[in-house]
Structure 1
């Protein structure tokens, strides 16, 4: 306050536009920073004793009036005939006479508490508004690197929510279990053994599996036993050459092993002798059982196709009994075909059976985000295998091997074998 009073006594009062203006900073000659001049502003003011100009590009502030007094009005007299210069940020030296659409906006002077008006073109304002700042660019790159871009959220249903209170379901371990199954399924897959088995062909194997499905149905065994039986047969034939006369013995002994592993009450050896019409003796079945276990090193805990089927059917939306029966029907058709069973891993066969069942039953959508998440396969990855399963379905009624077809023609299986097969065009 003391400095302001001292400056007011030194500088005379000047009337500008009808108001009194006092100089705020003392010793203008030594401390003149020319804040307005630094950004290209030239302000015209009235000469001493003359009438104030009516057209001024901006209101004259107290600082600019003090600068005019200190300089004796020289800038005004020298530039009275020169065109006014627009002060626009980023565009210096634009003349007022140049035709351009502009609008007047209010700007706060950085050194003063006085609003001044500037004429800025609309084009420049659009550039300012639409221009991307460095912060926005870096933020976008960071989000992209971290995977946080604005992608649509994937809806994954909790398929195990209904089994939370079922301690036998082991819901807290399900995800880890199926991750392990996917990692270990290739280690237990049978290799292509047809070249090493001179007396075994794909047709002979299909006849054996067709017969095993009938035996499995007669004994009323669990589905796990059927899939494990076929897995044991294929793995044993991959390691050991078997003559044709012993193929049925291998099948009987493999089902006996699978039944002991999966069933609560496994069939007796005498029951298998009856099934084979006493073609083999009791000791032969027991010796073959021992030979198979020794060749497989007693390793029976393998992820078969059934393990993945039950999990993927739960992920099917909507899932019902008809969907389950159709899936198992297509899966067993694929189990009989040697090329399909050997070429594809169990998880892919199971996922393809679910996908083909969705198409056959006209489910919409055919493949959901939940199924893709739990199976790990997309539609394109399953297309080839699904086409094979659909072709087996279309020819099941005319095939001579009708065990699977007759099994799923029964009303207790929903008679899904009688449903029309999906068109190949629907799989494109």
Structure 2
């Protein structure tokens, strides 16, 4: 008992008889029942090597190594280690082995992601040397986002509508018809439209009414030869038709009779109205310049009242001028009016990606028409036809007619 308490192993007495002795020896020869210490392991390996060399059997050593490893595993599993110590050893002894190719890939990938200041400056220098524009492209502003909840704005159809207007504007566009009119000329047409501008302002009609009136007048004159005396009658009847089409409260025919100083009777106006509608086959839904003006002004992005008045001033000068409507389409006149107005008011940038997107025209395409409009602005104060100039010299229109014309076009005009 005392020896057991001191930690000394107690050996039982050997069994009696020869068989028991042989059994004990056989058991002791089984290395699987004996703990493998370092010294014992060395002895076993040495004996195994000697035995393998003697018998020329190279398989003995690996088998012995596997058996030794198995015993070590059994011994290690029996040892109880605290959990904290295991976690500490795992964190300290854990080694992740990766191949050289993986390390190379990771290093290359890391180098691709990191852009140094030197590389950026070098790239910019090369781009400038090659003449490449590295300025970021201007974004197109969504001009209809504020009208998504407005049912009258028909935002979901607006782009398709203006594509249709662009495709059909040539159908209602007039070409040079003065050669087919022996009794009237371009000067008479301008005098008539100048008078209609005053009538339009007197009745306080919608802008759409004026542009449709001019469109009806020109289309009828391109199809029908008239006398000089009938010209004013055609103009009055055209405005009667446009008023009925566009206005909620259209002026009475007798009102036009009074404004014409009783030059024509109500019956004459109604007969001419019928003749015009028949000649035009009641085709009145046409894309006039006003249709495009309202859209292009909106594309200017938050235009002020001054900008709107200047655009309409230049557009009406163009409508009054016969060569302008012959040379350019309604959409081109509208876009050029916006372009010339931005030049006049020194808007920067003069032409944006948003305007280019919605108008479909670049600055180069608009320059000639804009130059023509700026020239009309320069000569408006001295012109004998003063209706447009008087209208836009009034305070309610911002007196934009009194502004200095765009200097970039003024010298060439």
Give TM-score, length-normalised by structure 1.
0.64
Structure 2: stretches of 5+ with no match in the other structure = 1-52, 54-98, 102-133
1:161 aligned residue? 145
Structure 1: stretches of 5+ with no match in the other structure = 1-8, 10-106, 111-149
Moved more, 185-194 or 211-220: 185-194
Give me the whole-angstrom Cα distance separating, in 2, the residues matched to 1:391 and 1:425.
8
* Contact persistence 1:359–1:426 (CA under 8 A): no
2:263 aligned residue? 279
1:170 aligned residue? 154
2:325 aligned residue? 341
More helix by share: 2
Report how far residue 367 of structure 1 moved: 0.2
Q: Does 1:405 align with 2:400?
A: no
Any idea what SS the aligned residue of 1:365 has?
A: coil
- The one of 242, 246, 263 aligned to 1:258: 242
Q: Does 1:330 align with 2:314?
A: yes
Give me the whole-angstrom Cα distance separating, in 1, the residues matched to 2:308 and 2:146.
17
Give me the whole-angstrom Cα distance separating, in 2, the residues matched to 1:352 and 1:191.
19
State which structure, 1 or 2, has the greater radius of gyration over its C-alpha atoms: 2
Q: Does 1:246 align with 2:246?
A: no
Give me the whole-angstrom Cα distance separating, in 2, the residues matched to 1:322 and 1:328.
10
Q: Go from structure 1 to structure 2 and tell me whether the alpha carbon gap of 1:225 and 1:156 turns closer, same or farther (over 3 Å shift).
A: same
Report how far residue 317 of structure 1 moved: 3.6
Any idea what SS the aligned residue of 2:169 has?
A: helix
- The one of 378, 395, 399 aligned to 1:394: 378
* Contact persistence 2:374–2:409 (CA under 8 A): no
Higher RCO, 1 or 2 (CA under 8 Å, sep at least 6)?
2
Give me the whole-angstrom Cα distance separating, in 1, the residues matched to 2:308 and 2:349.
17
- The one of 202, 218, 229 aligned to 1:234: 218
- The one of 239, 247, 252 aligned to 1:268: 252
- The one of 177, 191, 199 aligned to 1:207: 191
Give me the whole-angstrom Cα distance separating, in 2, the residues matched to 1:371 and 1:424.
20
1:415 aligned residue? 399
* Contact persistence 1:228–1:258 (CA under 8 A): yes
> RMSD of aligned C-alpha atoms?
2.1
Q: Does 1:367 align with 2:351?
A: yes
Report how far residue 151 of structure 1 moved: 9.5
